[in-house]
Amino acid sequence: MALSIPDTAFIIAYYRANNELVSCDPYAKLWVRPSLQKWVNEFATKVSEYDELLHCMRNRYFHLTLEELLGSGSKLLCINLGAGFSMYPYNLSEDLVTIEADFDDVVAFKKEAIARFTADGSLPSRKVRWINTDITRQEDQARLKTLLNDYKGYRKVIMIEGVFFFLNQGQINSVIEFCREILNTGDILLAESFEEQIKETAVFIRLKTYFEKELHSDGTTTTLPRSFYEELPGFNLKRSNSTLELARELELVPEDMQESEVLNEYCYFLVRE
Ligand SMILES: C[S@@+](CC[C@H](N)C(=O)[O-])C[C@H]1O[C@@H](n2cnc3c(N)ncnc32)[C@H](O)[C@@H]1O
């Protein structure tokens, strides 16, 4: 059986559940499907044994960044584009208001499951709204924009995590253009992608080959140079952190681990000018 892109969202939830302390996601276990363990094991053997931990660093980065923004005192609206099975609202203060966008099947499944988990007390109740959207389509972007009329007076933070890899450059530009349009001065864009230097590494080539075989992916795998973010019109790049750097800080990887040996992803914190 082949994997689908939404399955990748389940698999990384599995990673977080296996490492809930460092991933900062004690609720990821709600998505665990034992049938996925075989993919987790296979990916570790065929692509990279460190991917599980580095993915957890990604979640940790976004969790801690949202926590920091919540601490700034303003009313915060988080718009998570391609949210998958991420669980930020439930692990953070109830003050956070969230809109999650993803494909129809992911949204329908998640919405129904969250309603069940909240009703049986497995999850705290949070202010989350879901919208089934192809975030690259202008018609869908316009529907999402309409929702924002209900959140006047909120500082917005858009998160795009684990998504650009699967989009082509034109689609990424369309998503960024949409972000530029809906964000006001001082709002935040948190984005994540691989940098260019990974393209020639053996581990990235293994990843591409694996996805072409198992995801029936057409080979579209986009990497973005740091200069893409540095030069984004209308945005100011404040900082970037890599998942390897975060894993090193927590001493989760061997000291001599080289960037070229792992699927190192970069997280960017941009402020709308
Ligand atoms: C690898 S998962 C990442 C999920 C989550 N952001 C995380 O990092 O845990 C990619 C997610 O992006 C969603 N996605 C990919 N392309 C999309 C698009 N064009 N529109 C909406 N969602 C998309 C997929 O359905 C999936 O849930």
Instruction: Identify the band that residue 213 occupies on the pLDDT scale cut at 50, 70 and 90.
Output: confident
Is the model's pLDDT at 5 over the cut of 80? no
Is the model's pLDDT at 1 over the cut of 60? no
Note the residue count of the chain: 273
Instruction: Give 254 Cα–ligand 1 centroid separation in angstroms.
Output: 30
Q: What is the pLDDT of residues 12-26, one digit of tens each?
A: 999 999 999 999 999
**Residue in 240, 249, 244 with CA at minimum distance from that of residue 268:** 240
Q: What is the pLDDT of residues 126-137, one digit of tens each?
A: 999 999 999 999
Residues 82, 12 contacting (CB under 8 angstroms): no
221-242 in b/e form (b: 16+ CB < 10 A) is bebbeeebbeebeebebeebbb
Residue nearest to atom 19 of ligand 1 (CA): 134
Is the model's pLDDT at 29 over the cut of 70? yes
User: Does ligand 1 lie within 6 Å of residue 134's CB atom?
Assistant: yes
Instruction: Identify the band that residue 91 occupies on the pLDDT scale cut at 50, 70 and 90.
Output: very high
**Residue in 164, 187, 166 with CA at minimum distance from that of residue 176:** 164
Instruction: Give 102 Cα–ligand 1 centroid separation in angstroms.
Output: 6
Q: What is the pLDDT of residues 182-191, one digit of tens each?
A: 999 999 999 9
Ligand 1 atom with the shortest distance to the CA of 83: 6
Least confidently predicted of 4-13, 90-99, 229-238, 239-248 = 4-13
Ligand 1 atom with the shortest distance to the CA of 134: 20
Structure tokens at 175: 């998503």
Q: For the chain, what are the domain ranges?
A: 5-272
User: Does ligand 1 lie within 6 Å of residue 221's CB atom?
Assistant: no
In this prediction, residue 2 carries a pLDDT of: 58
Instruction: Give 273 Cα–ligand 1 centroid separation in angstroms.
Output: 27
Is the model's pLDDT at 3 over the cut of 70? no
Instruction: Give 101 Cα–ligand 1 centroid separation in angstroms.
Output: 9
- Average pLDDT for residues 73-101, to the nearest whole number? 96
Instruction: Give 222 Cα–ligand 1 centroid separation in angstroms.
Output: 14
Is domain 5-272 in CATH 3.40.640.10, yes or no? Answer: no
- Average pLDDT for residues 75-101, to the nearest whole number? 97
User: Does ligand 1 lie within 6 Å of residue 6's CB atom?
Assistant: yes
In this prediction, residue 85 carries a pLDDT of: 94
Residues 78, 154 contacting (CB under 8 angstroms): no
Q: What percent of the chain has pLDDT over 70?
A: 98
In this prediction, residue 63 carries a pLDDT of: 98
Instruction: Give 255 Cα–ligand 1 centroid separation in angstroms.
Output: 32
Highest mean pLDDT among 4-8, 28-32, 38-42: 28-32
Q: Which residues contact 137 (CB under 8 A, 6 or more apart)?
A: none
- Average pLDDT for residues 70-91, to the nearest whole number? 95
